[in-house]
Structure 1
Amino acid sequence: MRKALTGAAGVFPPHGRYHHGMAVSGTDRLLFLSGQVGICPDGSVPSGITRQTEQLFANIECLLKEGGMDRSHLVRLTAYLLDPGDRAAYMAVRDAWVAEPAPASTLLFVQALARPDFMVEVEAIAAA
């Protein structure tokens, strides 16, 4: 069971579609996904932040399915973006993709990812 933690006294409310924490109980499985990038099954990398973000969430969806889970099991996302100017486009895709309750989430801006053509990377944790 997942319980969203948002209303703690003395903590400013989240400023986006996420929760400060997710309490997990009654689970017997955790799934930790390595950082996923917007690389297609054929090895191509779409151009643009929106298409790369859509592809990386499609990749996460496939991995969740392989692990016997779906996006409703997500408890944590950590995203790495190269360009702060891409934040709005990334968030639009992410917010449309995540299930309720939205998972705990962190967004970081970094200088580089594993390859120069990658614009975004996301790690995920799910519990069932």
Structure 2
Amino acid sequence: MEIFQIVVLGIVVLIILTVLRETNPEIAVILSLVTGIIIFVSILPKLSSVVEVLNSLARKSGLDTIYFVTTLKIIGIAYITEFGSQLCQDANEKNLASKIEIAGKVMIIFLSIPIIIGLVEAILSIMP
């Protein structure tokens, strides 16, 4: 039911934004940003629950926690990067949005290095 509330909020704000962009574009940008932040904050408890379940599964499976934590960080960076980029695009700042996307990609590559090293080491250990 929460998604219904989020969608209704989005539609109502969209209608208001359509009117505001013609008369007061600065307020429209602020309203769009605030609405995006409200939606993001409203889903954080759900995201927290997902992380807890995945953490529990990782512990039960005996996976090395560094890989699990790194994977969660990478997923978090991807979501936050997308959110920040979309906010910038909503504010008609496409250049800034692309810079945020590049920064997110670099951070993901940087955090992936231990996983890549572990994968290469595992492959090398099974090769004759």
TM-score normalised by length of structure 1: 0.27
- More strand by percentage: 1
Q: Name the structure, 1 or 2, with higher relative contact order (CA <8 Å, separation 6+).
A: 1
- More helix by percentage: 2
TM-score normalised by length of structure 2: 0.27
